[in-house]
Structure 1
Amino acid sequence: MLDVQGVTRMFGRKAAVDNISFRIDRPAFVGIIGRSGAGKSTFLRMMNRLLDATAGEIRVDGRDVLSLKGAEARAWQSHCAMIFQQFNLVPRMDVASNVLHGILNRRSTLQTLFNLWPRADILKALEILDRLGIAEQAPKRAEALSGGQQQRVAIARALMQDPKIILADEPIASLDPMNAQVVMDTLKRINVEDGRMVIANLHTLDTARRYCDRVIGMRDGRIVFDGTPAQLSTGIAREIYGADASFNEAATSTAIPADTSPDRSYADLMLS
């Protein structure tokens, strides 16, 4: 289903993503973990065609999506929905309209300008919001919602596209633990119930262990681990995150435990 071969992205002389390859044969929930700067977000943005790759192929059902141009590339983006850490909603627009914006590329300029939507699309948007437990928020401005609710609106917008694959770039990094759980539960339910592949960049091993079928660990642009959550040992965690990583970075993670004394390594904190 998804075949990544030799994908590289250079920024000047630095490889943000360095010749990575892996294959996913079923609609699994895949977590990509690693420190900030490991190349996780760069890879997702290449897959969604927000960034061009320097080299390599990303084949979905046999078609190299990195070679698509123009209308074909835009069509691919509708089949590969992206969820961002900061939601990327239109704050002053109502929730239902934000969800409908998931299919903007299928509408004419005139329809978009006057915010004209077919009844069937409006009903579909409301049905998705109801499924995610936030239908009552449909008429409210997006900016009036909590962070967790806004992220569920972003997920609803992604579902409006009816995508084959959902990419989630640090979807819970800015949320408190309770809202983070709600968002992750929602993504997992979509994966299981809809049979959609979900690829999520995650900070914490605890989250990866709880929700993922498969985990890919990246460090300095390269894949240093590819296996099941059960295979994430202390040694592998240290290889991914580094034994000498700063305490401050670990302290910003959603699921950091109470005991965070500065003499503990980043890997030790992640494994607590």
Structure 2
Amino acid sequence: MLLSVENVSKVFGGNVAVDSVSFSIEKPAFVGIIGRSGAGKSTLLRMVNRLTDASSGAIRFEGRDVLSLGGSAKRAWQSDCAMIFQQFNLVPRMDVVSNVLHGTLNRHSAFATFFNLYPTADIHRAIDILDRLGIAEQAAKRAEALSGGQQQRVAIARALMQDPRIILADEPIASLDPMNAQVVMDALRRIHEEDGRMVVANLHTLDTARRYCDRVIGMRAGRIVFDGTPGQLTTGVARDIYGADASFSESATSTSIEALDANARAMMEEAELL
């Protein structure tokens, strides 16, 4: 078993954010986790990465309980388990290539990091990764000068500099327009297929989960209420995951350009009738 989450819970005060969650991933796959805001998706990923401690349960990678790790072993795990965030978490005034090189922080001394003293081989690798993601020409620019989609690709490049076994992506396209969302999801899918890396992504739209994921896990109120293939993610199942009634419309949460265009046309037609 590659990754196993066993009866993991997280309690904040009197609030149960994640409630006895269990699932396993046997081989590198692209897994999407969906659910409404507050379902526990982000907390779950943060526990896997050890940014947040679990209240109970076990998380095992190749049989080793990562929740028991501390010190250098914990830092090594966080290098193996890279995290990508919705808000990019870049250093805005730092150039792009330096932001990418931050993915090697766990391998270098604090002195070298403070003075940006990176080996030439690491610099060349960072530029190669940026080139792979189609943004090598942005390497010398400040991160804040880039578009949201470009910044998220820089964040992906930083994660790849860690050479991780797992990439965890917490709502990686939630703040992006449809075009950039597609570019970022295409990049993550390509990394999974070409590198054989496991990708686990929290997603907020059904069409994205169906298009890019091999497996979809649905969470509601801290519990897993669905675990299956994209083809099994029917509208009825989606209603149950999101706690919605019969008026639930998938198109309202779509990130596809075609769906958004259709919604815009429908709104214009409705306005013309008023």
How does the TM-score come out when normalised to structure 2? 0.91
Q: CA deviation at 1:8?
A: 0.2
Q: CA deviation at 1:152?
A: 0.2
Counterparts of 1:46-85 in structure 2, within 5 Å, are 46-85=47-86
- The aligned counterpart of 1:238 is 239
Q: Partner of 1:18: helix, strand, or coil?
A: strand
Aligned residues of 1:33 and 1:201 also touching (Cα < 8 A): yes
How many residue pairs get aligned? The number is 262
Q: Percent identity?
A: 77
How many Å separate the matches in 1 of 2:18 and 2:193? 29
202-211 vs 106-115, greater mean Cα deviation: 106-115
How many Å separate the matches in 2 of 1:214 and 1:194? 18
- Alignment of 1:8 with 2:9, yes or no, is yes
24-33 vs 234-243, greater mean Cα deviation: 234-243
Q: CA deviation at 1:251?
A: 5.6
- Alignment of 1:138 with 2:139, yes or no, is yes
- The aligned counterpart of 1:266 is none
How many Å separate the matches in 1 of 2:104 and 2:247? 42
- The aligned counterpart of 1:147 is 148
What letter is aligned with 1:190? I
**RMSD of aligned alpha carbons:** 2.1
- The aligned counterpart of 2:271 is none
Aligned residues of 1:175 and 1:254 also touching (Cα < 8 A): no
What letter is aligned with 2:64? R
Q: CA deviation at 1:244?
A: 4.5
- The aligned counterpart of 1:212 is 213
How many Å separate the matches in 2 of 1:259 and 1:115? 48
Aligned residues of 2:206 and 2:253 also touching (Cα < 8 A): no
Aligned residues of 2:59 and 2:66 also touching (Cα < 8 A): yes
Aligned residues of 2:207 and 2:254 also touching (Cα < 8 A): no
Q: Partner of 1:163: helix, strand, or coil?
A: coil
What letter is aligned with 1:234? T
How many Å separate the matches in 1 of 2:246 and 2:56? 30
Q: Partner of 1:140: helix, strand, or coil?
A: coil
Check 1:242–1:178 CA distance in 2 against 1; reply closer, same or farther (3 A cut). Answer: same
Q: CA deviation at 1:235?
A: 1.5
Counterparts of 1:79-228 in structure 2, within 5 Å, are 79-228=80-229
Aligned residues of 1:15 and 1:221 also touching (Cα < 8 A): yes
Q: CA deviation at 1:51?
A: 0.2
* 1:74-121: CA deviation from partner (whole Å, max 9, x where unpaired): 110000000000000000000000000011121112111211011111
How many Å separate the matches in 2 of 1:167 and 1:77? 11
Q: CA deviation at 1:246?
A: 10
How many Å separate the matches in 2 of 1:55 and 1:68? 14
Aligned residues of 1:173 and 1:254 also touching (Cα < 8 A): no
How many Å separate the matches in 2 of 1:64 and 1:15? 22
Gaps of 5+ in 1: 263-272
How does the TM-score come out when normalised to structure 1? 0.92
